[in-house]
Chains A and B, each alone.
Chain A
Amino acid sequence: MNIEDLEKEKNEGIENLPLQERRKFLQMGLVVTGVFLGGSVLSLTSTSHASDQSNQDRDIPAEGQYPYPKHYGMVMRQNRCVDCEKCVEACKQTNHVPDAHGAYRTAIQERLTTENGAEKREFRPVLCNHCNRPPCVRVCPTKATYKDPQTGIVVMDYAKCIGCKTCMAACPYNARYFNHEKYAIDKCNFCIDTRLAEGKTETACAAACPARVRIFGDLKDKSTEIYRLLHTPDTKIWVLRPDTGALPNVFYMNA
């Protein structure tokens, strides 16, 4: 491809660039222009995500920044998880996840540490984060995976998928697997076809959880529990791998 051809290409724009890329570019600019000004200028790049209302990259979107009519997300009250894996079982049953090749739509991660000589366990439920800027969607060559315009859920069009697995490599959360039965990539879709379409208000995993770890709902709707949890002052909320700039919609807290 030569320069003339490149010039005819449509500009991709910067809206969909990951935060990391933008930050890199910004920092490079700062290094070039403001190297003598030192930390005071560089510190401008580390504004708090959670508190700055004008920041487009906030972990929890500000009012008026929800791009979808319904904006589904999930809160994980992580310290309540006991790894009973009823969520995993329910998900497998509901969404026909094959019991082979380590396939999963949701899983529980475990961290074992030792504290004062005693074994300490921590469990963390994981699933697709249904990112606002999903790297998997960006890399898909056939547009087989996309953000559902009604709900913001990252969904699959199995017929379009060619099984190239680029999305699997791009996903920062390892939330995708190759389904040998569908012969396509498969992933969590917040049970959009298996439960939400039938009018159920919860995903299979959230409904199965005996400890109410998983709170599923519309982030935009002020009457939902998820909205209340995410907007409780002084609650420490975090997301996984915020550095990727994917803006995930699965939030973690200890509550």
Chain B
Amino acid sequence: MMQKKIKTIGAVLLAGSFFLATHSIAATAYDEGTYGPEAPITWDKPTKVTFSHKVHTMDSGLACDACHDGLFTMESGAILATGKMTMAAMAEGKFCGSCHDGNTAFATNTKCASCHKDVKELTPKDPIVWTNPAKAVVFYHKAHTEGLGLECDACHDSTFAMQKGAAGKAGNFTMQALYEGKYCGKCHDGSTAFASNTRCNTCHIGVKGYNRMMGNDGAHGATHKDTKAGH
């Protein structure tokens, strides 16, 4: 009984001290006049996105006129209404992309979760299919995120870039690389997950599996059935 009381008092004191500490720092350091609105700007459309003035002004030292009004008008929601603020536009160096180009700041096709807080909403529903270097390898996001509870940053961007087909184009997305702990081999090493040199056909669906997935079943090449059927 006595012990419990002490614990409770301890917890309250600890919480109180944290509150005071954070409150006093925030109160003294952040000035909305200099740094812009304190609350993060959030958009719901086209997807949930958040932007923090603090990170860009107070933490990074940018002045208001770095973005206003050249890149963004100050009026709330005005940019969105134009419908022009898309990832494609940013990739062309517009809006956030004028700094987030991979040079001045991280590129817009990386670190998705920095701005898209609800990134799970954006997780591809359809399986990822690689046809390079071997046709065809399948990967299910759902099995790894919902099934195993992995977060996006378990793989992105350290092991896999988010860009579609990036690994296949890299030229080193081979089984040998996996055995050396790269790509899938980071976890599929026999201890964290099944080893890459076992259960080949869990991921390799082959040309036949690929054709079925793409809806051109019954293309050239023999399946078990039609090789037995004769000509």
Contacts and interface: CB of A to CB of B under 8 A. Distances in A.
A76 to B, nearest CB: 14
Nearest to B222: A107
Interface of A: 79-86, 88, 99, 101-102, 104, 107-111, 120-124, 126, 168, 174, 177-178, 210-211
A101 B175 CA distance: 35
A84 B135 contact: yes
Interface residue tally of chain B, by bracket?
20 to 34
A211 B227 CA distance: 23
B209 A109 contact: no
> A-side binding surface: helix, strand, loop or mixed?
mixed
B206 A83 contact: yes
B201 A120 contact: yes
A168 B133 CA distance: 36
Contact of B231 (A88, A102, A121, A126): A102
A99 B206 contact: no
Contacts, number: 76
Interface of B: 133-136, 175, 200-201, 204-209, 220-224, 226-228, 230-231
Nearest to A111: B224
Contacts of A104: 221-222
A109 B222 contact: yes
A83 B208 CA distance: 7
A109 B227 CA distance: 8
B221 A85 contact: yes
Contacts of B223: 109-110
Given A108-B207, A174-B230, 14 more contacts: A82-B201, A83-B206, A83-B208, A83-B209, A84-B134, A84-B206, A85-B207, A88-B221, A101-B231, A104-B222, A108-B221, A108-B222, A110-B209, A210-B133
B206 A85 contact: yes
